[in-house]
Amino acid sequence: MEKILVIVPTYNERENIGKVLDILFDLNIPGLDVLVIDDNSPDHTADIVKAYQKKNPHVFLIERAGKLGLGTAYIQGFKFALERDYEYIFEMDADLSHDPREIPNFLEAVKDADLVIGSRYLRGVNVINWPLRRLALSVMANKYTKYITGLPLEDSTSGFKCFRRRVLEAVPLDQVKSNGYSFQIEMNFKAWKRGFRIKEIQIIFYDRTVGKSKMSKKIMFEAALMVWKLKILSLFGKY
C-alpha cells in the first residue's frame, strides 16, 4: 500500500482544524496520515491537534517557534515526508477553503501525473464568496505568471495539490526561496522545468467562514518579483 501524507500549515486555525481532520479521516482512505505544521499560533491551534492525536495515531504535529511563513512550513513538511515512506504528498489549507473530499479525485488523477493541482480557473471561475478585489488579484496574478514564465497552468498559485515523491526528491528543496504564495509558483515552475507531468483538476474554492486570511502586500510583491526571477534564472539554465 502506498502511503499518503496531507500537509496542513496552520496559523490561528483553532476553529477550523478539528473539522478539517474529521472530514479527512471520515474519508477512510487507507494509508493516509496528516501532518499539521503550526507556527506557535496565538490562538493555541496546536492544543486542538494534540488532543486529536490522543485518539488518532495518524496525526503528526510539528510546532515551530513563530510565524515563519507558508513556504518554509511546506519545505519542512516535504522533508518529513521524504525521510519516511510517503509516495503521495498533499498540500492543503486548514480553513476549509479546500474540500478534503476532493482527495480521492487527486489520487485518481495522479495515476498518470507527477503533480496534480486543484485549479480554481480550469473552466471559468470556481471561487465562492471571495471579495471581487481578492478574486481579481488572484486571476491577474495567474495570467501574469503564465504570460511571463510560460508555465502552462490556469492556476499556478493554488495551494491544494498532490506531489508524487519523485518530484520532491528531484527539486532541490533548500534552494526554494519563496515564503508566501509565490512558493506555489516556484514549486510548479521547478517541477515543470524538470519535465514532470503536471495535471490540473477542477476544484471549487470556498472563502473561509471563520478566522482571518494571512494575505498581505508583502506576499503579493514577493510573488510579482519571483515570477521574473524564475524567468531570468531559467534563461541561464538555472532552475
Ligand X SMILES: Nc1nc2c(ncn2[C@@H]2O[C@H](COP(=O)(O)OP(=O)(O)O)[C@@H](O)[C@H]2O)c(=O)[nH]1
By C-beta, is 14 or 114 nearer to ligand X? 14
Can you list the alpha helix ranges (DSSP code H) found in 37-164?
45-55, 70-83, 103-109, 132-149
13 belongs to the binding site for ligand X (CB under 6 A):
yes
Identify the residue among 5, 69, 162, 201 touching ligand X (CB under 6 A): 69
| Closest to 208 in 3D by CA, of 95, 127, 120, 131 | 95
Kindly state the smallest distance separating residue 213's Cβ from Mg ion, in Å: 6
Q: Write out the binding residues for ligand X, residues 19-38 only, by CB under 6 A.
A: 37-38
Q: Are 160 and 126 in contact (CB under 8 A)?
A: no
Choose one: 27-35, 64-72, 118-126, 140-148; the region binding ligand X (CB under 6 A): 64-72
Please, where are the H alpha helices in the chain? 14-26, 45-55, 70-83, 103-109, 132-149, 165-170, 182-193, 217-235
Least separation in angstroms between CB 70 and ligand X: 5
Q: Shortest CA distance to 179 belongs to which of 69, 91, 77?
A: 69
C-alpha cell of 4?
499518503
# residues near ligand X by CB under 6 A: 21
Which residues in 117-156 contact ligand X (CB under 6 A)?
none
Considering only 97, 145, 156, 188, the residue that binds ligand X (CB under 6 A) is 97
Does the footprint of ligand X cover residue 187 (CB under 6 A)? no
Which residue's Cβ has the minimum distance to ligand X? 213
- Of 98 and 196, which CB lies nearer to ligand X in the complex structure? 98
- Interhelix angle 45-55/14-26, rounded to 10 degrees, is 30
Q: What's the maximum distance between 2 C-alpha atoms anywhere in the chain? A: 52
| Least distance in angstroms from the C-beta of 34 to Mg ion | 17
Q: Which residues bind ligand X (CB under 6 A)?
A: 9-11, 13, 37-39, 67-70, 73, 93-95, 97, 159, 208, 213-215
